[in-house]
Structure 1
């Protein structure tokens, strides 16, 4: 009996293990079916029959998503239209209206500015036409000079550079001969090489544009700046391109640097404290087309000094005058070398002061300063920065002819000079180009 009981217990345990294994297999199959059901929500657990209840339950959700997407697209289109309207108002000068439209557009879509490509105008009343890029028109006007010249040659009447827009009773400038007009343009450029005014004059009409692109004018400008070193046009396409691309000093303003440092003062009598002084001064450099240069070091601010630098015949005693030249080294860096000296003043001899004394005459000397600067460009402006590379003082004794040279160390006290344009320097023309 004991053996039979033991055998029955073994059979029961085997049955329990088999049933538990069967349950595990069933749970595993159910898990796999559920997993497949989640991967393919439109199919049943067997993967063969669709689930209509599931599809019907998802139908309204899909419709709501589509409706929401259409609303977002409509909102973005409205914001785009408002933004382009604001751009047009800003270009017309109506800043208040432009700000109002900008605000409405950003309330709809905060980053609408970065979503506009400016390649097409929105549908409707043609808002934002000025922002549309027309590649065909750009291709047609790629070479305005040849285009304008061709239009003038195709005119039926006698060739004139310009025509009056309205009927006038007085003589129009278009009646003047070509030679007289070119002489007027040379007065516009003047001996100060005011090419900025020449470019503004070219915006008047097609005829003035052609006159302003005259190669002879630009050739003479290049000769005045670089001398004989610009006989060859290569590698530039025109003399105007040479003037715009080749490094040069600018004449319609002043190069200015500001230096500031702290200097220790003398100790007080009681030894309780020692004063510190903040020293601040400016350096000014003004270049002229004829090769002359002016230099001034002073603590006065630019507002009071710049008007005095308009002409070379200034009454400021501390101004140094000299000549400069441009040099382009093998390292493709343009440098400016200048030799400047103080203006010579004839002092009257006082005979009565030393009538009864034998005076030892002071040794006469000539002081000159040699300056070396590197011409650079910074920011959006071109050739607007001068970096110090050399500064020395040469003292020549007239009695012996000897020259003593003192070279200054280029340190933090020699800050770069930056260009500032001065409109009054080119407001008047003394003589033509």
Structure 2
């Protein structure tokens, strides 16, 4: 009897295992198909949009599976819409309908912003290389006429001997605004004699002069021993915080011998003096005479090498001190010698990276 009961229990266990095996087999099949699809999508060059979801049999689909299917369909719809818009944009660009849909006045206003108040005609020339329509807009005589008027003023009312305003701007001598004129001066100075009297030290002194011109007629000048890497970024705007900088105005003058000269009057930035408050009421102090100190500079504009208008040669440098109380002016002229080395132009890309005002 005990043997019979043991056989019955064994048969029940076998039936239970047989009933569980089909469910396990279905689950294993689903996992295998999912792994195969996942590995196929990981192959390089195969995108998720190009892979069709392989249907597989599932014994039961819960809400999580349905939500995943809905999300996948939404992603496919987004990718298809993005692809459609991209192809449409490419077609419109090939047909040239993007900028041609703009009115000519709006397009020319954009071009004036490209030139900006800094007269960045270099960017305008690069813009003309985009297409034929941009080339025609960049050759508009009005843009080049306004640029010439801003540089030379009333002296450029006549085109003679130039054929166009663009030719005048490119050929007529002028100072450049997209960089800085820099000169480096080096000299030897004797030091103090040693204590034993056997030798005297010699010092090599180096300093730089920087000049930057603006289209509105203003100029900045700075003399310092600091190298260009640290000084040039400070000269981007006229509102620099450098104390030793000199500000002023300049003008161009063309003589009968076709030599263009640059004359400038510069002075140090005026600082507000604090009001003196004295402890004693009847304190008397000898008043200091108020003066205006300015420098007058004369330079000759030249070209060297392949670059044009990239060299400034010193012609005149003097100091003017005017006493406000009497109106008298004391003038001291400096001798132009080897210490006044020519200034050479260095283009600075960051000066024309932004536009503050249109032309």
RMSD: 1.8
- In structure 1, stretches of 5+ residues that fail to align are 1-163
Q: With CA pairs under 8 Å and 6+ residues apart, which has the higher RCO, 1 or 2? A: 2
Pair 1:363–1:286, CA change in 2 (3 A): same
Match of 1:307 in 2: 233
Match of 2:126 in 1: 200
Q: Does 1:413 align with 2:339?
A: yes
State the 1:356 CA deviation.
Answer: 7.2
Match of 1:175 in 2: 101
State the 1:279 CA deviation.
Answer: 0.6
State the 1:303 CA deviation.
Answer: 0.5
In the alignment of these two chains, the number of paired residues is 270
Match of 2:254 in 1: 328
Q: Is the 8 A contact 2:173 2:260 kept in 1?
A: yes
Q: How far apart, CA to CA, are the structure 1 residues paired with 2:263 and 2:280?
A: 43
Q: How far apart, CA to CA, are the structure 1 residues paired with 2:92 and 2:157?
A: 46
TM-score normalised by structure 2 residue count: 0.73
Q: Deviations over 1:193-240 (max 9, x none)?
A: 000000000000000000000000000000000000000011111000
Q: How far apart, CA to CA, are the structure 2 residues paired with 1:417 and 1:324?
A: 16
Match of 1:258 in 2: 184
Match of 1:277 in 2: 203
Q: Deviations over 1:43-102 (max 9, x none)?
A: xxxxxxxxxxxxxxxxxxxxxxxxxxxxxxxxxxxxxxxxxxxxxxxxxxxxxxxxxxxx
Q: Does 1:215 align with 2:141?
A: yes
Match of 2:91 in 1: 166
**Secondary structure class of the residue paired with 1:269:** coil
Pair 1:367–1:240, CA change in 2 (3 A): same
Q: How far apart, CA to CA, are the structure 2 residues paired with 1:407 and 1:272?
A: 39
State the 1:333 CA deviation.
Answer: 0.4
TM-score normalised by structure 1 residue count: 0.60
Q: How far apart, CA to CA, are the structure 1 residues paired with 2:301 and 2:351?
A: 21
Match of 1:358 in 2: 284
Q: Does 1:341 align with 2:267?
A: yes
Q: Is the 8 A contact 2:92 2:98 kept in 1?
A: no
| Equivalent residue in structure 2 for 1:378, among 304, 308, 322 | 304
Q: How far apart, CA to CA, are the structure 2 residues paired with 1:409 and 1:343?
A: 25
Q: How far apart, CA to CA, are the structure 2 residues paired with 1:393 and 1:239?
A: 38
Pair 1:274–1:208, CA change in 2 (3 A): same
Match of 1:397 in 2: 323
Q: Does 1:287 align with 2:213?
A: yes
State the 1:167 CA deviation.
Answer: 3.5
Q: Is the 8 A contact 2:191 2:203 kept in 1?
A: yes
Q: Deviations over 1:317-375 (max 9, x none)?
A: 11100000000111110000000000101111231478775321111111000000000
Q: How far apart, CA to CA, are the structure 1 residues paired with 2:285 and 2:339?
A: 41
Q: How far apart, CA to CA, are the structure 1 residues paired with 2:160 and 2:90?
A: 41
Pair 1:270–1:352, CA change in 2 (3 A): farther
- In structure 2, stretches of 5+ residues that fail to align are 1-88
Pair 1:377–1:263, CA change in 2 (3 A): same
Q: Does 1:367 align with 2:298?
A: no
Q: Is the 8 A contact 2:187 2:206 kept in 1?
A: yes
Q: How far apart, CA to CA, are the structure 1 residues paired with 2:350 and 2:287?
A: 46
Q: How far apart, CA to CA, are the structure 2 residues paired with 1:355 and 1:252?
A: 56
Q: Deviations over 1:141-183 (max 9, x none)?
A: xxxxxxxxxxxxxxxxxxxxxxx86346xx8222111110000
- The structure with the largest alpha-carbon Rg is 1
| Equivalent residue in structure 2 for 1:188, among 114, 118, 124 | 114
**Secondary structure class of the residue paired with 1:234:** coil
Q: Deviations over 1:128-149 (max 9, x none)?
A: xxxxxxxxxxxxxxxxxxxxxx
Q: How far apart, CA to CA, are the structure 2 residues paired with 1:296 and 1:354?
A: 42
Match of 2:21 in 1: none
**Secondary structure class of the residue paired with 1:222:** helix
Q: How far apart, CA to CA, are the structure 2 residues paired with 1:410 and 1:201?
A: 43
